[in-house]
Structure 1
Amino acid sequence: MSTEVKTKEKVDMDPKYIIKLTVTLFVTCVVVAALLGLVDNVTREKIAAINWENTVNAMKAVVADPDTTTFSDPLEDIEAAAAAAAAAGGTLDSVYEVQVGGAGAGYAIKVVASGSQGNIEMMVGVDSENVVTGVSIVDNSETAGIGSKVMENQNGVLDQFIGKSAADGTLAVGTNVDAITGATVSSKGVTAGVNAALAAAGAIG
């Protein structure tokens, strides 16, 4: 065995060398983990800020006077509202109190309903008298050029819900809601979402 090989084996088996290598690897792992954690926290905060900004924009789109309106954080005690929304044909996502001059003036309610190609996520504004103040589509998978006409509020299809209330009874396409030609399923999905929001608002009181 050559002198070079013997020297390498001696270095490899040297406890001090092994300890030094172990410590180096440990420190490297700690530094990398800390950096990844920092990046994750910064990224998570940015994503949360963007999501909240998008939520606020959706809420502003469904209130009468967005310039003088503020919104609470999501309400926590919404079990009864969720049950009411489900019974009305939709899924309750979140509820925010609408405030004008510091006083409660209704709710901005995010609900999910079934469309022709998947879920329709929507924000519905409901005032303190349980009357719809606006409807805004947050996300959807409806067919471009057909169902998307409803999502884009063509012919004011979303605006027709403004002024509707629980006093009008269950909203239904063909009865008290007009559908976009060729997009009946999408229209029914949005209608179900509005019914769910009204039911949720009624359950909150």
Structure 2
Amino acid sequence: MSNETKTKEKVNMDPKYILVLTLTLLVTCVIVAGVLGFVNSITKDKIAAFNLEKTNTALSNVYQQASAPQFEETDVTDEMTAAAASYSATLENVYKVTDGGSDAGYAVKIVAAGSQGDIEMVVGVDTDGAVTGVSVVKNSETSGIGSKVVGNLPLANGTPVLDQFIGKTASDQPLKVGSNVDAISGATVSTKGVTKGVNGALAVVAAIG
């Protein structure tokens, strides 16, 4: 066996090469970050505009009986948030509604869990505390099943599933599937999700007083 000791060969790196490599990587990272930020800002604005359009459509849908409804967003209080939470719903926005200058009630944008994720909806409640309509803004329910609910397809009796809530008041609470709310066959969980939202919206308006 040889007693010779192998010496490792040193690799000398040119400082200028290291500097150029570092600067190249830095510039590349800055450019990529800038492009991603630009794309994100464009996408974010488009998504926000799309969501706003869907919300405005939903607001109009739940006050179809009004001739010229106007919606003014109001502050959300802790009491309102707690009222929605008492029915396992999350309050997003509250709008005071007027029609021709007269008080017409409120529109409540609220979220509740469906079968495949959150169901975001707007619920209208008139000055008598009765539901004027329910319109879904965003959802991820299963096509052909839960989508029948959010799409307001008819129940077995012919009544559109979301329209069955029209006229319901706080005195009817708790609204419950199988009791005073009917579900579309195969879409019970989705119907329960909407029911939570309507219960929450009625509770929110009751908390406003």
Q: Does TM, scored on the shorter chain, surpass 0.5?
A: yes
Calculate the aligned-residue CA RMSD, in Å: 2.3
Q: C-alpha separation between the residues in 1 aligned to 2:84 and 2:137?
A: 18
Give aligned-pair identity as a percent: 56
Q: CA offset at residue 86 of structure 1?
A: 0.2
Alignment of 1:120-199 (within 5 A): 120-155=119-154, 156-199=160-203
Change in 2 beyond 3 A, CA 1:142/1:77: closer
Alignment of 1:25-36 (within 5 A): none
**Aligned residues of 1:94 and 1:109 also touching (Cα < 8 A):** yes
Aligned length: 169
Change in 2 beyond 3 A, CA 1:78/1:103: farther
1:102 maps to 101
**Aligned residues of 1:89 and 1:195 also touching (Cα < 8 A):** no
Match of 1:202 among 176, 183, 206: 206
**Aligned residues of 2:67 and 2:100 also touching (Cα < 8 A):** no
Change in 2 beyond 3 A, CA 1:103/1:45: farther
Which letter maps to 1:99? T
Q: CA offset at residue 46 of structure 1?
A: 6.7
Which letter maps to 1:54? K
Q: CA offset at residue 65 of structure 1?
A: 2.5
Q: CA offset at residue 44 of structure 1?
A: 7.2
2:87 maps to 88
Q: CA offset at residue 84 of structure 1?
A: 0.4
Gaps of 5+ in 1: 1-32
Gaps of 5+ in 2: 1-33, 155-159
Q: CA offset at residue 79 of structure 1?
A: 1.9
- Note the alpha carbon deviations across 1:95-138, whole angstroms, 9 max, x for none: 01111122321111011001111101011000011100000011
